[in-house]
Chains A and B, each alone.
Chain A
Amino acid sequence: MNIALILAAGSGTRMGNADKPKQFLPIYGKPLMIHTIEAFEINDDVDKIVIVTNEQYIDQVKVWCKQYDLSKVRGVVAGGNSRQISVYNGLKAVEELVSSPDDIIVIHDAARPLISQKIINDNIAVCKKFGAVDTVIKASDTIIRSKDNEIISDIPNRNELYQGQTPQTFKFKIIKDAHEKALKEDIPNVTDDAKLVLSFGIDVHLVEGSAQNFKITTFDDLMMLKALLKIGKTEVVL
């Protein structure tokens, strides 16, 4: 079984004056996160969906699931103070749905609405084979490391660098064990599940993402998404 775990518990602190977190902002009349979840709803390989969201939005998200006919959603649970806790809360809800430790969990940011079906399919296929997968795109800009924010400490070789996206996809046992071990060993605030799994010595394989699968983090990102969509609304009927 393949279960999508959608993370929609962000606070949206980088969105400027918006009165609600970015994942709830309407894009052409529909909350951003619903556009994202629909990509998983229509994917034939995804069997069930669990949503992690801000506690005060749980009822609203449940209403949206009904309104937009998201029939694969099996749970809407509250997130935590960090991404790590939010994922863990989601995994606890997922645990009630899995039928095998090898079931596949596709963890995706609700704020990446332009996720393609190909990326979802590739994540599931590669995870089936290897157990742990991260979606990446090759770094196109030179990446600069600066430890003091003033001078360059290092310029890593760009050929070895990728930018991480989501989904990050794991067999259930691998991701659940990694999170429980992190809690036990008091490793807090890991912002990336691949990093967590990697830190326990498990190989994480790469799946090619897409520049289009960008995360709506800032107001500029939101403008970029709206601009892309505005262009796309052109319909020619003579």
Chain B
Amino acid sequence: MFNNIFKVTSPGVIEKFIDTVEDMDNKVLVKVDTMAICKADIRYFLGNRDINVLNHKYPLAPIHEAVGEVVKDPTGTYKKGDKVILVPNSFDDKFYSDNSNRRCHRKDLGDNYYPKAVFRSSTADGFLRNYYTCSPDLLVKYDESIAPSIAVFSELLSVATAALRRINFDEVEKLALFGDGIMAYIVYIMLRFDHPDLDLTVFGIDDHKLEAFRDAKTAKFEEYKGEKFDTLIEAVGGKFSADAINNMIDLSIPGADLILMGVNEEKSPINTRLVLEKGLSLKGVTRSTKQDFEHVAKALNDKKVQEALSIMVLSENKINNVGDIYRCFEADINNKKEIGKNLMHW
């Protein structure tokens, strides 16, 4: 069977390719249903990365946030029609035995931190395609009562889960979340699901966006006069991430943990003097594991989680051609005011 797959071939250009869907006895055939665009996809689309890196990547199918429906599963793991979240990680058989593929043996680090880990829409083609075949290990079933336009945020929720996994919540008394955008909101949703009674303060700059964080205290850094924090999460990214990290350092009590989630293409100058003085720990978090997705599939059943995610659906768009894809990318690129995404359906 033939399959349409859409790839970024150069900055600002997406082209349709026709591929064959391979029949393999140990793989599941999934019809991709709903897709969301990530900031990383936008960077590849706009060419906002080092040109030498981009030239190695193009042509590259974007999208790593997607859900689909099982069409066929010769392995017997899933039934036809099962709703599944697509896990964008990928590992081959030699992955663990390769001596050049080393990382720390810390238990809280996922397989995705191995240098040779493959990630869809970054080091392998993403999900902007009609059909996808993969090992059953790279799918997570979600309840069919949940709308695909809600479940499509699973990858983001899984990254939030991966970040929260790095925190020892037995020791947390006051937690600060920096950011008022999509990632911060997603972390807020998972924090409220996993730790509803936690003392949580969200720091942002946009009053309208901060209103979405209903079940948390909200504040602006310049105006904040309250107690300092033992755990602080940065979910700002981009050019403001350095400011956010320095603000977090200022608001840390000695020995605090700082979790960094935001991607910044530039190097961030940070106040190392205070980091040393306060004995702070900085942990970087990006991407998630299959286990994080499984936790998210449970969280999706929670009505509060569903309700919180529903405000993130800015529009739902039927994709018939490349032009429709451009329009969704442009809508997401131009959205500065709302926490949410313009979703794509086939």
A residues touching B (Cβ–Cβ < 8 Å)? 27-28, 30, 35, 38-39, 42, 68-69, 113-114, 116-118, 212, 228-229, 231-238
* A232 adjacent to B320 (CB under 8 Å): no
Closest to A38 in B: B1
11 A-B contacts (beta carbon < 8 Å): A30-B23, A35-B1, A232-B17, A232-B20, A235-B124, A236-B60, A236-B123, A237-B118, A237-B123, A237-B124, A238-B57
Interface assignment of B290: CB less than 8 Å from any CB of chain A = no
Q: Please, which residues of chain B bring their CB within 8 A of the CB of A114?
A: 2, 18
Q: A35-B1, A113-B2, A117-B130 are in contact. Are A232 and B18 (CB under 8 A)?
A: yes
The one of B2, B31, B123, B320 that contacts A118, using a Cβ cutoff of 8 Å? B320
Closest to A237 in B: B124
* B124 adjacent to A236 (CB under 8 Å): yes
Q: A69-B74, A236-B59, A236-B125 are in contact. Are A42 and B29 (CB under 8 A)?
A: yes
Interface assignment of B19: CB less than 8 Å from any CB of chain A = yes
Interface string of B272-303 (1 = CB under 8 A from A): 00000000000000000000000000000000
Distance in Å from the Cβ of B23 to the closest Cβ of chain A? 7
* B130 adjacent to A228 (CB under 8 Å): no
- A236 to B131 alpha-carbon distance, docked (Å): 17
* A42 adjacent to B1 (CB under 8 Å): yes
Chain B interface size, as a band, is 20 to 34
* B57 adjacent to A228 (CB under 8 Å): no
- A39 to B71 alpha-carbon distance, docked (Å): 11
Closest to B321 in A: A210
- A39 to B29 alpha-carbon distance, docked (Å): 13
Q: Please, which residues of chain B bring their CB within 8 A of the CB of A229?
A: 2, 18-20
The one of A113, A231, A238 that contacts B17, using a Cβ cutoff of 8 Å? A231
- A30 to B24 alpha-carbon distance, docked (Å): 13
Q: Please, which residues of chain B bring their CB within 8 A of the CB of A212?
A: 18
- A114 to B2 alpha-carbon distance, docked (Å): 6
Interface assignment of B72: CB less than 8 Å from any CB of chain A = yes
* B320 adjacent to A234 (CB under 8 Å): no
Interface assignment of B5: CB less than 8 Å from any CB of chain A = yes
The one of A27, A30, A68, A232 that contacts B5, using a Cβ cutoff of 8 Å? A232
Closest to B53 in A: A238
The one of A68, A228, A234 that contacts B59, using a Cβ cutoff of 8 Å? A234
* B20 adjacent to A42 (CB under 8 Å): no
Q: Please, which residues of chain A bring their CB within 8 A of the CB of B123?
A: 236-238
The one of A30, A68, A231, A237 that contacts B18, using a Cβ cutoff of 8 Å? A231
* A42 adjacent to B31 (CB under 8 Å): yes
| Chain B, range 12-50, C-beta contacts under 8 Å to A | 17-21, 23, 29, 31
